[in-house]
Amino acid sequence: MLAVRWYGRRDIRLEEIEEPAVKPGFIKIKVKACGICGTDLNEYLHGPLFIPTEEPHPLTGKTAPVTIGHEFAGEVVEVGEGVRDFEIGDRVAVFPVIHCGECYFCRRGMENLCVNFGVTGLSEDGGFAEYALVRPYQAYRIPEGVSFEEAALVEPLSVGVRAVKKAGMMPGDSVVIIGAGPIGLCVLLVAKASGAGKIIVVEPLEARRKKALELGADVTIDPSGRNTEEVVEEIVSETELGADVSFECVGLNETFKTAVESIRKGGRAVVLGVFKCITSFNAKGLVVGEKSMIGSVSHSADDFCRGISLIDSGRVDVRPMITSKVKLKDIIERGFEELVENRDRHVKILAIER
């Protein structure tokens, strides 16, 4: 079968490899759609970040090379020994989190914080392939009205579900979202579906600002050539006292400062961006304003179920986020390299079956 394999930085290869045989306790899926995540792109350009290269992952025993891809959906074609509740032909979205089920966090339903946390498509072979093996707890049936392409976006949407939940957002709350990449736009969709009031999106790329407006943002701000104070002033002018909630979806010092300084007294800043730098800001405003900073990472099984429900009910439409669909054999050149060269033209690129 065809698979996209990560070997190292700037080294991913389309290879013909042996089709995986189903193992006891696993199900085999024919992959119908798989999206390129920002994490996949970062592994390609800057990795290894999460892919194990020297020490095998504690839950999977895997090291590079690995088949990448963790935003995927498909059809069950084989069921391993000991697996119940799944049948050949079941249509499923894949919850890519791998967890031990035994640690402090897993026992409390916080599998996204598992001490041995892993991800299918990073810690083991994933969805940029014709077939993939997953554990039963990773497969969630999708309703007939949800396409495989929509189901491939349940994973990033669930990141937005978790962030909005962590924010404790109330209907009517004003929201500022910093960064209109796939995760920022997913936060926007969930916030809108959850009854947010005015939604302001801060994003330097014009195409993504337009996409944010298309998906329901009320105001967009271009921060290009402006300092944090100027951006914050504009947000405050749009919200009188500052936003009730902010979502930092970039991972830079400047955007972190904007997220904290643009919320009102008593406001909440939810931080999702993956930072590669040390951040600094004036903490006095955080203290005297009784502001809250909240981290949000990945998603739980409950968040994933909520993502499926939002799409199935029609409360969220993820289809406008799909800006390109290519065959698996073309995903390196027309997917990864396309995002590197023309990031401003795309939100989500999907590989569809061969």
pLDDT tens-digit map of 2-48? 999 999 999 999 999 999 999 999 999 999 999 999 999 999 999 99
The predicted model scores a pTM of 0.95
pLDDT of residue 354: 60
Bridge partners, residue 12, by sequence: 6
Per-residue pLDDT at 111: 92
* Region at 216 (left for phi over 0; alpha for psi -120 to 50; beta for the rest): left
- pLDDT for residue 281: 76
188-207 average pLDDT score? 97
* Residue 285 pLDDT: 84
Superfamily name and number for 157-295: NAD(P)-binding Rossmann-like Domain (3.40.50.720)
> Where does the pLDDT of residue 142 fall: very low under 50, low under 70, confident under 90, or very high at 90 and above?
very high
Are 248 and 229 within 8 A, CB to CB? no
Of the chain, the percentage scoring pLDDT greater than 70 comes to 100
**Helix 206-214 vs helix 182-193: crossing angle, to nearest 10:** 20
- What proportion of the chain, given as a percentage, has pLDDT over 90? 93
pLDDT tens string 62-118: 999 999 999 999 999 999 999 999 999 999 999 999 999 999 999 998 999 999 999
Average pLDDT, integer, range 300-314:
97
User: What are the DSSP calls for 282-332, one per residue?
Assistant: -THHHHHTT-EEEE--S--HHHHHHHHHHHHHTS---GGGEEEEEEGGGHI
> Domain limits of the chain?
2-153+318-352, 157-295
Question: Where are any strands of DSSP class E within the chain?
Answer: 2-8, 11-16, 27-35, 66-67, 71-79, 91-94, 97-98, 118-119, 131-134, 139-141, 175-178, 199-202, 219-221, 243-248, 263-271, 292-295, 322-327, 348-352
For the domain made up of 2-153+318-352, the CATH class stated in words is: alpha beta
pLDDT the model gives residue 278: 79
Q: Does 276 score more than 80 pLDDT?
A: no
Opening angle at CA 221, ends 220 and 223, nearest 5: 150
Asked whether the beta carbons of 203 and 212 are under 8 A apart, the reply is: yes
The DSSP string of 204-240 is S-HHHHHHHHHTT-SEEE--TT--HHHHHHHHHHHHS
- In the structure encoding, which two tokens stand for residue 249, read together? 């979806």
Give the span between the Cα atoms of 244 and 199, in whole angstroms.
Answer: 10
Beta bridge partners of 295: 271
When comparing pLDDT for 280 and 205, which is higher?
205
